[in-house]
Structure 1
Amino acid sequence: MRSVTDVAESKQHRIARRQVDKFDARRTELAVATLHTLAELGYARTSLREIAQNSEFSHGVLHYYFADKRDLITEAVRQYEVVCVTRYDEVVASAASAVQLRDEFVAMFFGTLAEDAALHRLWYDLRNQSLFDSSFRADVLEIDSHREAMVWRVVSRYAELRGGTVAASSGLVYVTLDGVFQRALLHHLAGDAETVAALRAELPEVVELLVRAA
């Protein structure tokens, strides 16, 4: 039989857990709500005060939930990556053939590039900043690993549907497709539709090169 002390400690633990969960949920809510403001301002031009001035939240509220702009930007990018992963996983889950998976992946790849260009720009900004600032390098590497795993699920499933195997390591597959995406993003932001269209036309061949026939 549990003692009064045990019951009291268990209750305190549950209350503390709920408080932590509510705090984390509020952090997520604020990060998502300020994501577009962050994307427009970019890393160098962003401070918690500037974010507050461009959003519905006070500086005090943001400062309570986030230690600094690095903390907020990292959490915002992390939440956006969760959405991206879900999108591609749905494509993988619904594909009945290799051709369908490849075509839907290409459509999603360039669709999100155009629709969420500012958000992708924020990610690359954050990743570049981590080369100079070691304080959030671990967070960037963690997010990058999730992106790598997402790409691997697409390409490995495509290889399976083709009856083959992936011809390169997970890391090489990721940097190959990420390189295409970053180049396409740069030209999209520059208004160079011709180069973006050319990259889109070539992407199916790139995916095919990553797969070895059985």
Structure 2
Amino acid sequence: MNEVPSKLKARAARKSAKREEKKRQIAESAIKALKELGYANTGLRDIAEKNDLSLGMLHYYFEDRTALIIYCVSIYKEVFVRNISEALEKAEGREEVIEAFSEALVYSIVDDETTHRLWYDIRAQAMFDETFRPIVDEIEKKLIGIVRTAFEKAGQDVPENIEISYALLDGVFRYLMQGQIGKNRKSREELIQAFRTLLGQFF
């Protein structure tokens, strides 16, 4: 009796999975254009041209540019949060947490500099465009959660104003990341030492 509905559900699930996979592939391709041109200078046509896609294909999966950019930022930050969380998971105690956290943050600055620029671009846009606010709030809650985990793994009491600790760390991260764009780039060791100093004050 339930065989046909079960087959229909399975078929729908496979179709949904394929659609999501294709959607993610398009978004990952779009990120390349967004990293190069930035939010303000990138339209759907630019993304389509740089990735050999038709505008019709983009519109099939994403309602508009905003929907595409929100999806792009969410999948990128998902990877960032996972990488930092995995680094902290292996650390135990104050010194290991400081070292693991510092190295993971610097690794991300050095390897994902242009993608971080896109995140800060979108976060700034959220102050003017409420469409971006839900995804920015969602991502920042996850980032605050990482800072909370770091305090716990370091054996420290989590501050009541954990959001302030996050804001301080984020400010340093953004400043150092931005510095890597100019002529006075810091070495990996100098970046790590900057985070060691800040996290040492936290813990």
Q: 1: CA distance between counterparts of 2:110 and 2:120? A: 15
Spell out, residue by residue over 1:69-123, the C-alpha distance to the aligned partner (whole angstroms, 9 max, x if none). 1111111111111211221122112224432221122122122112111000000
Q: Establish whether residue 190 from structure 1 lines up as the match of residue 186 from structure 2.
A: no
| More moved, 39-48 vs 88-97 | 88-97
1:165 aligns with 2:157: yes
Count how many residue pairs are aligned between Structure 1 and Structure 2: 203
Q: CA shift at 1:50, angstroms?
A: 0.5
Q: Distance in 1 between matches of 2:113 and 2:191?
A: 16
| Cα shift at 1:201 | 2.8
**2:119 & 2:151 partners in 1: Cα distance?**
22
Is 1:202 the counterpart of 2:200? The answer is no
Partner of 1:146: 142
Deviations 1:2-34 (A, max 9, x none): 4xxx54444333322332222122111211222
Distance across 2 between alignment mates of 1:84 and 1:139: 15
Q: Which amino acid aligns with 1:89?
A: S
Report the counterpart of residue 104 of structure 1 in structure 2. 100
Cα distance in 2, alignment partners of residues 21 and 165 from structure 1: 42
Tell me the secondary structure at the aligned position of residue 137 of structure 1: helix
Find the counterpart in structure 2 of residue 123 from structure 1: 119
The Cα shift of 1:176 comes to: 1.4
2:59 corresponds to 1:63: yes
Give the gaps of 5 or more residues in structure 1.
none
Q: Structure 2: which amino acid aligns with 1:187? A: G
Partner of 1:16: 12
Q: Quote the Cα distance in structure 1 between the aligned partners of 2:38 and 2:160.
A: 34
**8 Å Cα contact 1:184-1:196 kept in structure 2:** no
State TM-score, norm by structure 1: 0.84
Give the fraction of aligned pairs with identical amino acids, expressed as a percent. 29
CA distance in 2, matches of 1:23, 1:31: 12
Output one character per residue of 1:41-66: Cα deviation in whole Å (capped at 9) or x when no partner. Answer: 11111111101111132322222111
1: CA distance between counterparts of 2:85 and 2:178? 25
Q: Which stretch of the first structure deviates more once superposed, 51-60 or 38-47? A: 51-60
| CA-CA distance at 1:210 after TM superposition | 2.2
- Aligned-partner Cα distance in 2 for 1:172–1:7: 55
Match of 1:156 among 146, 152, 157: 152
The separation in 1 between residues aligned to 2:71 and 2:151, in whole angstroms, is 27
CA gap 1:168/1:205 in 2 versus in 1, 3 angstroms: farther
Native 8 Å contact 2:33 2:47 kept in 1: yes
Distance 1:200 1:176, change over 3 A: same
Q: 1:197 to 1:95 in 2, by over 3 A?
A: closer
Could you tell me how far apart the structure 2 residues matched to 1:194 and 1:75 are?
32
